[in-house]
Amino acid sequence: MYLYNSATHKKELFTPNSPEMVKMYTCGPTVYHFAHIGNLRTYIMEDVLEKTLRYMGYPVKRVMNITDVGHLASDADTGEDKMLKGAKRENKSVMEIAQYYTDAFFADCDKLNIKKPDVIEPATGCIPEFIQIVEGLLEKGFAYVAGGNVYFDTSKLERYYVFNDHDEEDLAIGVREGVEEDTNKRNKNDFVLWFTKSKFEDQALKWDSPWGVGYPGWHIECSGISLKHLGGDLDIHCGGIDNAFPHHTNEIAQSESYLGHKWCNYWFHVHHLNTDTGKMSKSKGEFLTVSLLEQKGYDPMAYRLFCLQSHYRRNLVFSWENLDNAVVAYDKLIAKIAALQNTGDVDMEAFQALKDRFVNALNADLNTAVAVTAVYDVLKAKTNDATKLAALKDFDQVLSLNLLEAAQKLQKKQVEEAAASADPEIDALVAARTEAKKAKNFAEADRIRDELKARGIEIIDTPQGTKWRKV
Ligand code: AMP
Ligand code: ZN
């Protein structure tokens, strides 16, 4: 499988350190508010990546953090803790907010068929591990204490900007937002590993440390949680593109300095979901959630299809019109699948040819847009329905669009609707008309048609026989 690696700026053949286990880390949500559908685009694409790896036969161990402390309003370590902001907004405690929005996040993931990671770890559960890394960095001379905080010293690195093929403007957004200069920093890009002093003294959660009572910086959380559960040889690290700088850049700086060797081989970044006014973001306050889509009558599966129809390394523009198009596409797809009959044997040769197209699309840097067209290829293929259904079931292990389940539901609905509108008297009249036509008694056939019409019944002659419906 070829994947674009942000660290090398190239598409590379994905080769895990060990075929026994792909070690995958994904930055989790900051649980001070609902996840918006932009965040969820990133989690959908990461879900597809994990499922693709499993589909290709790799066992995967996937770890995700829950950021429940230390993520300040600006990614450049200034401003108030986002969790505290959430707690104040809702007049609740930080831990109440964390629990509520963590549950809401996984409920949204469930609706979008995003699998739960194997390990989910809140940052507040790993404080001793973070302290140990910070101590190690101080011992090795990669960190310093200033003004009560511990900082990472970026001047000690040969290379700090590892993802510098990204648009500098894009990279700078998180840093610029509400930036205030921190005079403790020796270098512009130095970042906080441990806070004991911040302008916001009302920080709710604090822990004892060798440097005083305080709390961890945001970046150390992901390094610490990843090292704890996946060790020092990570295969693949994922996140949204806004995480590339400074978050992931800082994760690499501190993890590799602590370990003394290369840490992670592949970096997978999902580009943004934008609206016509720019990036969808929680801090702007106005954003769309899965629940809101549902309230408006949208099936979350249509949103998942909308995301899959575009490549993860392109910005995706959300508009209601675009989502409506995805709804139409999804409904048509399901109706076509519902019309398939599961009879006959699977033609293994035809199945393999269809599967090859699907696999090739995923192998080409997770091209889900082409993988979705492979679904349409199945429906158009010159093979029996059993083979088509087998291929669709197989593909849906990765796509997770409920293809067969939704089709079965539709079939059931169609049967129920037909039963609800059954009427033996009308059936008898329709049969009598068919007989009259067969006997070339067209006058009688027309009379029956007119009678039915007067009773509000429309006759439809199809190759499968005559059907009727109430108009
Ligand atoms: P947060 O909860 O803010 O820490 O973000 C959770 C994930 O969503 C991170 O991986 C972000 O990079 C990603 N993300 C944030 N905004 C967007 C967006 N508009 N489109 C796609 N991903 C995003
Ligand atoms: Zn992270």
| Domains of the chain (ranges, CATH numbers) | 2-270 (3.40.50.620), 298-410 (1.20.120.1910), 421-470 (no CATH)
Task: Work out the pLDDT band at 463, boundaries 50, 70, 90.
Answer: low
Residue nearest to atom 16 of ligand 1 (CA): 39
**Any idea which ligand is nearest the CA of 40?**
1
Neighbouring-strand partners of residue 471: none
Pocket of ligand 1 (CB under 6 A): 27, 29-30, 38-39, 41-42, 67, 239-240, 242-243, 270, 272-273, 279-282
- List, for residues 390-429, the tens digit of each pLDDT value: 999 999 999 999 999 999 999 998 888 877 778 888 889 9
pLDDT score recorded for residue 434: 92
| Cβ–Cβ under 8 Å, residues 54 and 302 | no
Q: Which amino acid is at 273?
A: L
Please give all residues whose CB falls under 5 A of ion ligand 2, grouped by chain where several chains appear.
27, 222
Percent of the chain as helix, strand, coil, to the nearest 5: 50, 20, 35
Distance 85 CA to ligand 2 centre (A): 20
Question: How far is 191 from 189, CA to CA, in rounded Å?
Answer: 6
Task: Flag whether the pTM goes above 0.85.
Answer: yes
Asked if residue 176 has pLDDT above 50, the reply is no
- List, for residues 360-399, the tens digit of each pLDDT value: 999 999 999 999 999 999 999 999 999 999 999 999 999 9
Question: How far is 46 from 428, CA to CA, in rounded Å?
Answer: 57
Helix H or strand E encompassing 467: strand 465-470
Q: Which residues of 140-172 are buried (b: 16+ CB within 10 A; e: fewer)?
A: eebbbbeeebbbbbbebbeebebbeebeeebbb
Residue nearest to atom 5 of ligand 1 (CA): 29
- List, for residues 92-107, the tens digit of each pLDDT value: 888 899 999 999 999 9
| Cβ–Cβ under 8 Å, residues 138 and 145 | yes
What DSSP designation does 314 have?
S
Distance 222 CA to ligand 2 centre (A): 5
Residue 303 CA: distances (Å) to CA of 44, 86, 188, 281, 388:
10, 27, 40, 18, 24
What DSSP designation does 34 have?
P
